Amino acid sequence: MSVLDTDPREQVQVLAEDGSVVEGATVPDLSEEEFVEMYRTMKLARHFDQRAVSLQRQGRMGTYPPLSGQEAAQVGSAMALDDQDWLIPSYREHAASYVHGLTLEGTLRYWMGDERGNKLDDLNIFPVAVPIASQVPHAAGLGMAANYNDTDEVFMCYFGDGATSEGDFHEGLNFGGVFDTPTVFFCNNNQWAISVPREKQTASETIAQKAIAYGMDGVQVDGMDPLAVYKVASAAVERARNGEEDKLRPTLIEAVQYRYGAHTTADDPSVYRQDDEVEEWKAKDPIPRMETFLRDRGTLDDERVADITESVEDEVAAAIETAEGFTRPTTDSMFEHVYADMSERLREQKAYLDRLRSDHGDEELLE
Amino acid sequence: MSDTQNLTLVQAVRDGLKGELERDEDVVVFGEDVGKNGGVFRATQGLYDEFGEERVFDTPLAESGIVGTAIGMAAYGMKPVPEMQFSGFAYPAFDQIVSHAARLRTRSRSRFSVPMTLRMPYGGGIRAPEHHSESKEAFYTHEAGLKVVVPSTPRDTKGLLAASIRDPDPVVFMEPKLIYRAFREEVPDETYTVELGEAKTRREGSDVSVFTWGAMTRPSLEAAENLDGDIDVEVIDLRTLSPMDWDSIVESFKKTGRAVVVHEAPKTGGLGAEIAATIQEEALGYQKAPVTRVTGFDTPFPLYALEDYYMPEAARIEDGIREAVEF
Ligand SMILES: Cc1ncc(C[n+]2csc(CCOP(=O)(O)OP(=O)(O)O)c2C)c(N)n1
């Protein structure tokens, strides 16, 4: 039986909260290096996130959506992809995107308000989607095109629990089912859509069970257990790529998790949620969980952990320095990417802005 | 004389909602994060505590659902005041707004009407992420059956909001978030209305008329002040974009013979074009110069590293005014 055949009202788990392997669970078949890489990437994501929030507080970055608490879901799922596969993110998948090749400075640049942060030329990553759930039909459409072209790419599409209320979620999954697309629909159920709790988003017992309505399998996984996420995501990717008799290729995964911080740096969660709720979820923290697992196997010791911590801090510091060293985008760039060929009207507007800048100087113009 | 409070624009929104919730039991306020959280801009702060979950409530994250159910409630006789968290996220509801809210009266030969006030913060300049800065008032003014209101001061905000909620037809109420907290004004405690469809002359002048609304009203006034002594600028805040106060526009233009339209929205297909065309139709004989438009560019609203270049501000508006006068 595939792990994807688990009842969508039950939760797949591999690592218990204390880092031990749950009885009867099989640990996914990864090398020790890959386990360490999983651990390291989660630590990197956590540190990056903390630094990004602090940059925003210092006015060095714009509004930023934090991911702390969601590392396992992001890293575990993205590690299930091959290079040829595609990642279709919402706005919170900084860690998943990193795993799939996006640099940290690329992510920083976007949240620093520079459009070039969305330039992902050599990566199979779609630009950040801010309008909720709008990326879900895109993922289905990418899959339809892959079917048409007979490739074996897989498309992993991320969205939140709130997104499952939008029509686009329904339409995307429905197309995925009808056209049997190689798509993994991955819901990061972090319990809240800004201030609205999961229970007020849908009356379904689980989000995973919504899959039944689209004719595909749905599976709920402990989203703070990186091994369980990896296992479920790998099975879904495999089925999307190779198909199985009597099964649709797309899968809906609901990864149950929690965001520790605010929805974005513009939000104040103390208005709508209790601190002890956060503390309860911290007991499930994926990073110590994975660390314990690896220490128990003898793969990690104090020294190795210290090395990893240091390398993670260095990598993030270097990315921030690079991101802050980029020159401001030019005003020309505002006009250059609207159409393949700039219209006469836009050319005139671009010249007008140049004229304004030279007549007034940026200081006066931007006061 | 009634008491007043010194309020910001967003506080005036809240005060206006509170007044109407008290006044009329059929008024309900709902949307994403409007309940316990009090709205992401705090426009509904405290209303959930005061009026309870039946009158002020959070919905699932589904704009089409929010507006669609508001239409159903309104047809049943209620006065729903749904919120779109940002105007840039109203598009999933666009079908409901234009296909149904705007047309239910027509389609049912006035058996049903949609007395809904759809609030949405619009506009740029607050360093917000992508899709949080657009000014798409032209979409809604293009749609017959809708009214479109854009206040620019706290006092007007409360009165226009009350008038919108009491209006028997659907109103798209666009709130200039750039000036949500930019300044305060004395606002009466009691409820009152500011009639829809009436522009307001913010500054009298005889050389040139500036027509503007919402967040662009302040930089337009600033430009007028900067030119004072040199050019005598009249500034008219249109306040309601549909129905538009054409009489005030034409009258002012007949006095000055020159017009500058200032809007944050892209130039092409923006309301500036509509105003210029109407002026031509109704006052060609008075025209001393072509109508000048000072607007956003025909590009998607940029991420914030470039947003200050996108938005018209005083210096750019002054240039526009000079251009009209020196023609
Ligand atoms: C169509 C649309 N409506 C509203 C918003 C404003 N908004 C941004 S994030 C958010 C909550 C999203 O919650 P969820 O889908 O659970 O994802 P999470 O942010 O928790 O990861 C809202 C309402 C938006 N971005 N797009």
What residues are paired with B82 via a beta bridge?
B30
Chain B residues with CB inside 8 Å of A114's CB? 303, 305
- Which residue type, as a one-letter code, is found at position A244? E
- Is the CB of A180 inside a 6 Å radius of any atom of ligand 1? no
Q: 3-state DSSP helix/strand/coil percent for chain A, to nearest 5?
A: 50, 10, 40
At which residue do the structure tokens 């990566």 appear?
Answer: A123
**End-to-end CA, chain A:** 65
Angle A65-A181-A229 from CA coordinates, rounded to 5°:
45
- Is the CB of A190 inside a 6 Å radius of any atom of ligand 1? yes
B65 has pLDDT over 90: yes
Per DSSP bridges, beta strands A192-193 and B240-242 are unpaired
- For A326, other C-beta atoms within 10 Å of its C-beta total 15
pLDDT of residue A1: 83
The full DSSP string for A194-245 is TTEEGGGT--SS-SGGGHHHHTSEEEEEETT-HHHHHHHHHHHHHHHHH-BT
Q: What contacts A328, CB < 8 A, 6 or more positions away?
A: A114, B305
pTM of the model: 0.96
Residue B2 DSSP one-character state: -
pLDDT, tens digit, 9 for 90 and up, residues B97-137: 999 999 999 999 999 999 999 999 999 999 999 999 999 99
Average pLDDT over residues B21-36: 98
pLDDT of residue A365: 85
pLDDT, tens digit, 9 for 90 and up, residues A121-134: 999 999 999 999 99
- Is the CB of A130 inside a 6 Å radius of any atom of ligand 1? yes
Q: Which residue of A has its CA nearest to B305?
A: A113
Residue A60 DSSP one-character state: S
At which residue do the structure tokens 């109420």 appear?
Answer: B173
pLDDT of residue A366: 83
Buried b (16+ CB within 10 A) or exposed e, A140-167: bbbbbebeeeeeebbbbbbbbbbbbbbb
Please give the structure tokens belonging to residue B266: 């892209």
Q: Would an 8 Å CB–CB cutoff place B65 in contact with chain A?
A: yes
Integer-rounded Cα Rg, in Å, for chain A is: 22
Confidence band for B138, pLDDT divided at 50, 70 and 90:
very high
Ramachandran category for residue B89: left, alpha or beta (phi over 0 → left; psi -120 to 50 → alpha): alpha
B4 has pLDDT over 90: yes
Distance CA B211, CA A32 (A): 68
Distance CA A85, CA B46 (A): 47
Are residues B231 and B321 in contact, defined by beta-carbon separation less than 8 angstroms? yes
What residues are paired with B212 via a beta bridge?
B237
pLDDT, tens digit, 9 for 90 and up, residues B305-320: 999 999 999 999 999 9
Burial of A172 (0-12, 13-18, 19+ CB in 10 A): buried
HSE (side-chain half, CA atoms, 13 Å) at A249? 24
Q: Would an 8 Å CB–CB cutoff place B219 in contact with chain A?
A: no
Residue A21 DSSP one-character state: B
Helix and strand tally (H, E) in chain B?
12, 14
Q: Would an 8 Å CB–CB cutoff place B130 in contact with chain A?
A: yes
Contact B32 A196 (CB under 8 A): yes
Strand B27-31's sheet: what is its strand order? B56-58, B27-31, B79-83, B117-122, B171-176, B147-149, B240-242
Distance in Å, CA A167 to ligand 1 centroid: 13
Distance CA A190, CA B198 (A): 47
Confidence band for B207, pLDDT divided at 50, 70 and 90:
very high
Residue bearing the CA closest to ligand 1, atom 12 = A193
Q: Would an 8 Å CB–CB cutoff place B312 in contact with chain A?
A: no
Contact A365 B316 (CB under 8 A): yes
Q: Which residues of chain A have pLDDT under 70?
A: none
Chain B residues with CB inside 8 Å of A163's CB? 61
- Percent of chain A residues topping a pLDDT of 70: 100
Q: In angstroms, what separates the C-alpha of B64 from chain A's closest C-alpha?
A: 8
Distance CA B256, CA B43 (A): 39
- Is the CB of A193 inside a 6 Å radius of any atom of ligand 1? yes
Contact B35 A114 (CB under 8 A): no
Please give the structure tokens belonging to residue A16: 């218990």
Chain A residues with CB inside 8 Å of B91's CB? 131
pLDDT, tens digit, 9 for 90 and up, residues B29-41: 999 999 999 999 9
B1 has pLDDT over 70: no
Q: Which of A194, A329, A334 sits opposite B37 (nearest CB)?
A: A194
Per DSSP bridges, beta strands B171-176 and B185-188 are unpaired
Residue bearing the CA closest to ligand 1, atom 8 = A132
What residues are paired with B149 via a beta bridge?
B173, B240
Q: Which atom of ligand 1 is nearest to the CA of A131?
A: 26
